[in-house]
Every structure is written in C-alpha cells, then in structure tokens.
Amino acid sequence: MTPLLELENLEVVYHHVATAIQGVSLRVPPGAIVALLGTNGAGKTTTLRAISGFLGADDAQIVGGRVVFQGATVTGRPPHELARRGLVLVPERDKVFETLTVQENLRALVPGSLTDRGATRPPVTLEQVFHYFPVLAGRCRQLAGYLSGGERQMLALATALLCRPRVLLVDELSLGLAPLVVERLMTLVARLRDELGLAVLLVEQNAGAALAVASYGYIMEHGRIVYDGPAERLLAHGDVREFYLGVGHRAGRKSYTEVKQYQRRRRWF
C-alpha cells in the first residue's frame, strides 16, 4: 500500500551545528495509527516539527532527506500550507488559549477552516466536533484555562479536526495525564481514525498506551530509528518490553541501543 506520509532519510540540524535527527525513515499508510516511541530527548518532537513545518521557530533546518505527503515532496513547506493539504499538528505544549473560552478557541485557532479551500475533504462543523467531544459542548463558554488536562487535550484534538486533516500528527497525548484519561483519549483517537478515515502519527513516551491502538511502531533513540515493526511484534519483543514497557528486571536501566551494542560485542568473544 502506498503510504500517505513518508519520511526518507530525514536529517535535521539545530543552530547549524547540532544534529538532532539523522537518517530517519518511516511510513504512515492510509487509515493507520503509527506510533513513534522513545524517551525524552530522543528526537520525536523534532521529527514532528520537521514534518509539519514548524522548525524555523527553533533555529533548526532540514539538511537532508525529504518529506513526502500524498505523493508530493513537501519538505520545508510552511505550516499553513501543510495544514491546507491536510497535514495537521497537535503540539505537545501550549495547545489552547487559556484566556479564551472553549468556543473562542475553536473559532480563533482555525480562521477560515469552515470555508471551502478547493479541497476534496468535506468541511467539519462544530456540531460534528461536539459529537466526538461532548464534554466540550457543555463547556463552550468556559475559559480554556479552567479545563482539566484531559479536556485541554480534547480541545486541541477538536481544533485539529476543524482543519480537516488527512493525517494527524499528535505529540505526547498522554503527557501528565492519569492512566484512565490516557486510555479514553487513545480510544477516541482510534475512533476518529475508524469513523473519519484519518491516519495518525502518534508520538509517545507511553509505549504501552500507544501500541494498544497503533498498528505499527518505530522506536527512536539519539535521533535515529533503532527498531520498528508491527505493534504486536514490539509488544512481544523482550528488550522492548523491558526498556519501554517496564516489564522485567532490567527495565529502565539501559536503552535499547545500548543493549544491542552489548549483545554485538559479546558475539566477538
């Protein structure tokens, strides 16, 4: 199946000297949820910002490889153009305007999103958004700053839906949330995929939650992809279970890369 989104050997450099990600390749097929997993600082958020066109604010640039979306190379294109094409980022932080109401957030963050822009995607109405996020419907006039963490994530996802995405780029959906809230949000993401035909690239430190809804996963360390495979294979892999799912006596002690290097060295003796 031809991927909807594909990265080919992507390389990003900060401040013209520091390599943040190198040789990153991944594929997001139509209608799939793909997880990009790794610890803090692995390069996951940089990868999303490179895809979505937000690197410029960080004094970073793509120096190698390319981003392909719907068969067209979109490397380095500005965020507003990518959003019009249907490549929409839900960022990790500062997702909502705290001093605006829920309804004002939904309207202010996506000016013109409800009008026709020549796209084949049907428009998304506020009524449809409230169908998927009924808790927001009851808080239309409430300031976003008073929402709970889970409700803010819902508002961020709702805003992204108004942009009529083909691919949602979701950064750390579970960050700082209780396990039950995370489970509900992941279930909601899977429902949006099923009912709206979206594809999702889900960046997460919470590997267990992400792999519960993803069909495929990539593990990232030190700016590189070190392992990938179907979700069930990752969940069954001993090293992945220990170092990313917290199962086993070595959990959290080493990275996946360090373990593989150690095993390779042992084969020489």
Q: What is the pLDDT of residues 81-139, one digit of tens each?
A: 999 999 999 987 667 889 999 999 998 755 455 444 445 566 778 888 999 999 999 99
CA angle 141, 167, 83 (to 5 degrees): 65
Report the C-alpha gap between 216 and 202 in whole angstroms.
10
CB 139 within 8 A of CB 105: no
Q: What is the pLDDT of residues 6-18, one digit of tens each?
A: 999 999 999 888 9
Domain residue spans of the chain: 5-236
pLDDT interval class at 266 (50, 70, 90): very low
Domain spanning 5-236, CATH architecture: 3-Layer(aba) Sandwich (3.40)
262 pLDDT more than 50? no
In angstroms, the Cα distances linking 14 to 54, 58, 67, 238, 242 are 13, 8, 18, 34, 32
Q: Helix, strand, coil shares of the chain as percentages rounded to 5?
A: 40, 25, 35
**Phi, psi (deg, nearest 5) at residue 242:** -75, -45
Q: What is the pLDDT of residues 24-73, one digit of tens each?
A: 999 999 999 999 999 888 999 999 999 999 997 778 999 999 999 999 99
